[in-house]
Amino acid sequence: MSGVPFGAVLDSVREGSFWMPPDASVTTQFVDPVFYYILGLTTFFFVAIVAVGAYFAIRYRKRSDADRTHPSAGSHTLEAVLAIIPSILMATIFWVGFRGYINLSVPPPDALEIRTVGQKWFWTFEYPNGMVMNTSVENAKLREEAGLETGLVVPIGQPVKLIGHSRDVLHSMFVPAFRIKKDVMPNRYTSIWFEATKTGTYDFFCTEYCGKDHSRMITKVIVKEQADYDAWLEEETKNSAKPKSGSELFAQGGCTACHSLAGVAGAGPALNGLFGRDEALADGTSVKADENYIRESIVNPTAKVVNGYAPVMPPFAGTFSDEELDTLVNYIKNQK
Ligand code: CUA
């Protein structure tokens, strides 16, 4: 047994990485007991049934042709017991699960509401004061270089309601440490809530397969003390009021994931030297790459698809304001 790091296993159980992720929200109480109850129940019956089955198979095996010459009699009492007990247990599973589901669905009335927008392939969080946090991988990198944290930042001990929707396809908000998970979809809102109990940084995933860069649709939940949160929000609100540069908007949209500015073809064409060029399109026609073409290709990319590329770019209508679109078009225009 000397090779087994038993202490490490025990530690991971205690910290929650072996059975369950870390426990960092009051909402875990609606999920974990249900999980352990069902796990315990099914484990008990699995072991009991296999053990009794094995014992009977050996104890009552057919030893000779003289064994079991007539069928054994049935028992109505036994059958009734075997129907009633599992029914009661199923009802208890339904009850604890349903109660947990309802509790997860109804946030406390004083919850801080944060709108969560999913789009291919990043999350945007909109705070009640209008501050918008963009969490694309490229934007997070830029912000990290500037010493800024990126993610869903929330205060500890405060119920938070995430009101989600999607700008394109199905995505799903998932925070394992809070045991919360909810699909977001176009044309309707869904919501989920949590109340963080520990400061720290936790994963926030998209857990609905949503296309090419689904695996990059990942960010963090950062839980801060109330005072730190207030200071952070004030600072970010000031930052977000400043107009963004073209390169910042290019990063926010996650554009670099597919579009090189150095002449390398990716999932989409390279954008340097694009302006003024005649682009051959997939439908056999061609188009002069002017401001209108660039703008249309951001807002509604499948309208004119460049020959040799798949129509996979998501539409960015609604992602950028009119001013931001101007800045972005101008930025792309000037990539020589
Ligand atoms: Cu969004 Cu997967």
Nearest atom (ligand 1) to Cα of 207: 2
Q: Across residues 247-271, what is the average pLDDT? A: 85
pLDDT at 208: 94
- For residue 257, the model assigns a pLDDT of 80
Query: pLDDT tens for residues 49-60?
Result: 999 999 999 988
pLDDT attached to residue 110: 92
Mean per-residue pLDDT of the chain: 88
CB of 164 closer than 6 A to ligand 1? no
Q: Is 213 in the pocket of ligand 1 (CB under 6 A)?
A: no
Q: pLDDT value at position 11?
A: 66
pTM: predicted TM-score of the whole model, two decimal places: 0.79
| Tens-place pLDDT, residues 110-156 | 999 999 999 988 999 999 998 999 999 988 998 899 899 999 999 99
153-186 pLDDT per residue, tens:
999 999 999 999 998 899 999 999 999 999 999 9
Ligand 1 close to Cβ of residue 246 (< 6 A): no
Residue nearest to atom 1 of ligand 1 (CA): 171
Is 240 exposed, middle or buried (CB count within 10 Å of its CB: 0-12, 13-18, 19+)?
A: middle
pLDDT number for residue 1? 39
171 in contact with ligand 1, CB cutoff 6 A = yes
pLDDT beyond 80 at 16: no
Least confident of 31-40, 59-68, 241-250: 59-68
Query: Cα–Cα distance between 26 and 136 in angstroms, integer?
Result: 28
Confidence of residue 8 (pLDDT cuts 50, 70, 90): low
CB of residue 167 inside a 6 A radius of ligand 1: no
Atom of ligand 1 nearest to the CA of 211: 2
Tell me the pLDDT band of 258, cut-offs 50, 70 and 90. confident
User: Residue 23 C-alpha to ligand 1 middle, in angstroms?
Assistant: 24
In short, whether 210's Cβ falls inside 6 Å of ligand 1 is: yes
Q: Where residue 12 falls among pLDDT bands split at 50, 70, 90? A: low
User: What number does the ligand 1 atom closest to the CA of 169 have?
Assistant: 1
Ligand 1 close to Cβ of residue 118 (< 6 A): yes
Task: Check pLDDT > 70 for residue 17.
Answer: no
CA of 254 to the centre of ligand 1 (A): 14
- Extract the tokens encoding 71: 């069928």
What is the predicted pLDDT for the residue at 125? 96
Output the CA 11–ligand 1 centroid distance in Å.
33
Say whether pLDDT at 71 is over 50: yes
Higher pLDDT, 14 or 305: 305
Give backbone dihedrals phi and psi of 165, rounded to 5 degrees, phi first: -155, 170
Q: How far is the CA of 200 from the centre of ligand 1 (A)?
A: 24
The whole-number pLDDT of residue 9 equals: 64
> Which domains are assigned to the chain?
6-60+74-105 (no CATH), 112-242 (2.60.40.420), 247-333 (1.10.760.10)
Q: Which atom of ligand 1 is nearest to the CA of 209?
A: 2
Ligand 1 proximity of 208 Cβ (cutoff 6 Å): yes
Structure tokens at 151: 């993610």
The number of the ligand 1 atom at minimal distance from the alpha carbon of 215 is 2
Which atom of ligand 1 lies nearest, measured to the CA of 217? 1
Encode the chain in three state secondary structure. Answer: CCCCCHHHHHHHHHHCCCCCCCCCEHHHHHCHHHHHHHHHHHHHHHHHHHHHHHHHHHHCCCCCCCCCCCCCCCCHHHHHHHHHHHHHHHHHHHHHHHHHHHHHHCCCCCCEEEEEEEECCEEEEECCCCCEEECCHHHHHHHHHCCCCCCEEEECCCEEEEEEEECCCCEEEEEHHHCEEEEEECCECEEEEEEECCCEEEEEEECCCCCCCHHHCEEEEEEECHHHHHHHHHHHHHHHHCCCCHHHHHHHCCHHHCCCCCCCCCCCCCCCCCCCCEEEECCCCEEECCHHHHHHHHHCHHHCCECCCCCCCCCCCCCCCHHHHHHHHHHHHCCC
State residue 13's pLDDT score. 61
pLDDT score of 2 more than 50: no
pLDDT at 284: 85
Give the model's confidence band at 190: pLDDT under 50 very low, under 70 low, under 90 confident, else very high: very high
